[in-house]
Amino acid sequence: MAKTRSPCLNADRTRATFEIVNAQLAPILGLSVTERLEIVNVIWESITNEQAELPVPEWQIAEVERRSAEMDADPNLGIPWEDVKKWVLNRDDRTR
């Protein structure tokens, strides 16, 4: 007979983990928004510098391949980069 986990045990573990993380983050959460954003930026840069260690999920690879095949089948589906760039750069003109 398969052993099932009690949802309460998982909830307790999650709560305990949350409390530990909260205690560790308390000093950071007390900083100003600007200081916290600087920390986020440092963390984000450290992640992007180690990007090679992040595996790309199979579903994401499949989606890129699907979209690529779709564009190969009908190149008129997309919008040329120059048109998109022009549209983005001129958006201030559209909102006035």
Instruction: Tell me: do 60 and 48 sit in the same domain.
Output: no
Give the global pTM: 0.41
Q: Could you say which of 39, 54, 69 is where a domain stops?
A: 54
Is 95 found in the same domain as 69? Answer: yes
Q: Does residue 30 sit in the same domain as residue 46?
A: yes
Indicate if 66 and 81 belong to the same structural domain.
Answer: yes
Q: Is 3 a residue whose pLDDT tops 60?
A: no
Residue 24 has pLDDT above 50, yes or no: yes
Q: Using pLDDT thresholds of 50, 70 and 90, give the confidence band for residue 2.
A: very low
* Better pLDDT: 18 or 51: 18
Neighbours of 36 (CB within 10 A): 14
User: Chain centroid to CA 44: how far?
Assistant: 10
> Which range, of 2-11, 41-50, 66-75, averages the lowest pLDDT?
2-11
